[in-house]
Amino acid sequence: MRSDRQKLEELYQLYEKPFYHIAYAILNHHQQAEDAVSDAFFQVMKHLSKIGQPDSPATKSYMIKIIKHTAINQYRKNQRQNQYCTELDDSAFEIPDSQNELENRFQKLSLQQMLSEMFSSVSDTDKKIILLHCQEQKTFFQIAEMLHMKEPAVRKRFERARKRMLAQKGEDFYEKKSVG
């Protein structure tokens, strides 16, 4: 029978990296993600007796719940303090089973981070308009009805927000090129 220390070491080996990726996907901040991982393992230590085999599906599910709740609590704390945070995505709470899946998830998170940065330059209403039009393929007329606005106002807000986002993307692109 393994000791609690061995069990904790095995849990750390299995879940430290996935924990970090989940926390970073929620918090979008390196140090806060590391803090969330530390806090999550502290919670694991408190409840180590409840954990069976480290690599079992039940343990995996339990561990995901711990990091998810720890990171979400940090996210909420950040929101109260008006700090920059990313939107939550349920796929971030899954631990990938293969290296290829991990790389695909990392690329998706990078894209989400870029979109989040671009959306930071537009209002919530403009963000809704962009998402409804681009992601859900709604017409400007449908969006206007949904948001109780006039269609020309929706079109204009879409165009202005699009220009702001492209301008911000351009600034970021040129800053990275000039540094590199």
pLDDT in tens, the chain (180 residues): 568 888 889 999 999 999 999 998 888 888 888 999 999 999 999 888 888 888 899 999 999 999 999 999 888 887 766 434 444 555 556 665 556 676 777 777 776 777 777 777 788 888 889 889 888 899 999 999 999 999 999 999 999 888 888 777 665 444 444 444
- The CA distances from residue 54 to 4, 12, 62, 67, in Å, are 11, 9, 10, 15
CB neighbours of residue 43 within 10 Å = 16
Helix residue ranges per DSSP H, the chain: 4-27, 30-46, 57-80, 99-119, 124-130, 140-147, 151-179
Residue range of the domain that includes 151: 121-180
Same domain, 33 and 93: yes
Domain count, the chain: 2
Torsion of CA 133, 163, 175, 102, to 10 degrees: 0
Out of 59, 77, 112, pick the residue that ends a domain: 112
Same domain, 93 and 34: yes
Does this model's pTM top 0.85? My answer is: no
* Long-range own/partner contacts, residues 73-76 (CB < 8 A, 24 or more apart): 74/23, 74/26, 74/27, 74/32, 74/35, 74/36, 74/39, 75/26, 75/27
- The crossing angle, in degrees rounded to 10, of helices 4-27 and 57-80 is 40
